[in-house]
A and B are shown apart, each in its own frame.
Chain A
C-alpha cells in the first residue's frame, strides 16, 4: 500500500534527506482509514450458545485474537464495531439482539457464526428458534460449522477485514446524509414471534375476520 516518495525530478540540492525518505509514505485516505478500522475492530462481548465457547477459545491463548487487534471485547454495543452472533437465536432473545444491533454505531458489521445463527442449524424446527439471524438484521459474513472450528472463525474474521478494505470514505453510507440508516424494526413477542414485515398481511386477515364476525 505504501509508495516510495518520488525524489527524482527535484532540483539539485533539494534532495530529500535520507532519514525522511524512510519515514514518509504516500497513500490514499481510504487505505489509512480502512487499515485503522480493520486493525482495531472491537467485537461485542456477547455470547449466545455453544458457539460462544469456541469464540472464547479464539480469544484465548492458542488462537489469540489479539494478533488482529481484536482482543478488546466490548460489553456495551455502543463501543463495538462487530457483532459476532455466536449461537442459536431464540425467539425470546431476538428482540434484545435487534435492539443491541440498533444501538451499535455505524460502521458496524455482523458475523453469523455457526449453523444456528446462519439458518437455525440443528434446532431449526424448534418452536422457539429463529431460522437464521439474517431474517432480521443484515449479515456480512457467514461462518458455517457446528460449531465452526476456531480456525474457521478466524478465517471469517479475515473476510470481514477484507470487506472493510473494499469500502471507501467517499461512498460510505454512514457519512452520507441521503443514506441515513434506519433502525431495524423491532420484533415483538406476541402469541408467537411477531415480525413487523408481516403487518400488512396480518391486518388484512384480522379485518376480514372482523367483517365475517359482524356479517
Chain B
C-alpha cells in the first residue's frame, strides 16, 4: 500500500487522523515525524530526525485520546489513532513550555546570530504569550565562550534540549559535551582540558535550535536575513556534501549543510564548511599573464583573449617542433563535468596528445563523510575522459617525461593541487626542465608565479554545472557568485583555446553548461538522461536518470550558462 500524496510505500501501513486529516504511515513511526512528513507542523525543540529521541523539551505535546497530552516525538503511531494538534489544552501546554523556557532567556536577539532562524523566536511568536509574567532577574551564564576552536557558546541562551550532546555521542562519537549540574544550575559543558574539537564540531551550531552554539567563523558577521542562499555542493572532497552558500554582496558568508540522506544526511565536516576563503580573498588569480619575450617588455598582464592566443601559439609551436605528445595536460578535479568534457575534447581533438590526466590531491579519509580524494570531481573528470589516452602518460608519468625532456610543454589546470598530489622532487624536476609552463588556476601560487602563461580560472561558486561524487551521484553545482567581469570559466577557456588551435574565431566558441550536459547524456555511458532539471536539488546516481524513472524535479536557482 502506498500513500497517494507522497508516493511512499509502507510495510505495515496504519491510518492515523491528524486534525481531521487521514494519513497513512508506517506502524511504529513516531507521530511527530509522520506529521512533519505530511506537512503538519508540530513545534519541537529536542527532537531531531538524525538523533536519538530525548523527549525532554515537551514542546511537541499533542492530544491523542490518552488521558494526558502525549509528546509526539516519542509516540508511535497505531491504527485508528486520532490526534488533535490544535485543541485549547495543547495550546495551553505550548504556552506553558514557552513561558518556562523564556523565564531565564536573555532575549538578546538584537545581538544574536541566530535571530531570524531561531526556533525560540518563531515558536514564541507562534505559540507563546505576549508578555512575561515574571520580573525576577534572569540567570546569568557564560557569554561568547569558546567552547571549542570553531564554536562559540552562550550559556544564557541554551534551552538544554541536549541535541548537541547527542550529536557528540552519536554522530561525531567524540563525547565532548554533557549536561553538568542539576536543576536550575544545569548547563552544557565540556570536561576539563577537553574542548569541543572534532572534525564535525560546527554541526552542533546548525542543530542548536537557539543561539547558544554558534559558528565562530560566522559570529557577528552578517544578519541571516541579508543572506541570499544558493543550493550547491561542497568542493573540498569527493563526498560532495550538499550545502547552501549564504551570500552577501557577492561574497560567501558561510556554508551550511543541506539535507541529503543519500550523501551527507544533514551534516558536513568543519574543513569543508570553512574552506571557502580561497574563492574571494586576495590570492585569487584575476589577471591573465604572459611572461618572457612574448610579454613585450613592460607589464606581463594581458587580456585573457591575448593570453589564450599566446597559449595557442605556444602549443602549436610545440606540436610542430616535437609532435603532439610533447604536450602534457594535467587537469583539475575541481572543474565541473561539463568543463571536463571540453578539456578531454581539447586534448584529444585540438591538441591531439594522449598525455592527459587529472591531478588528485589526497589525504586522510575517516570512514564517515571525509573522503581521501580532496577534490570534488576527480571521478567526473575520469568519466569525461580526462585520463591518459592510448599509451598516454598519467600525472607521474608526465612529470617524469617533462624532467627527461620528452614533454616540452605542460598545461596545468589547478596547479595548487599538485603539492598534495605528487612527490615534491619529481614536481620540481619537471617544472625546472619544461620549456613552456601554462598554468590555469583560480588562485596564485608557486607554479602560477613561474608560468610563462597564466589563465585565470573560476571557482565552483561561480559556475553552473555538475560534479560526480565518489559514489557516482551526479549533483548540481549552482552559481552563487558573479565572476569577475570579462573572465571565462574553465570550460570557456577550453572551448576558446580549442577554437584557436583549430584556426577558428574564439568568439564563436562560447561554453554552455546546459548544452554540454545534454551532449554528455548522449555520449557518456551512465549519464543517460541527465539534465539540470532531472538532477533537481538532490542529484541522481549514474545510470538512474533514464527518462522513464521518475518525474522531473523543478530546477531552482539556476543562472545563465555564462555572461554574454
Q: Are A and B associated in one complex?
A: no
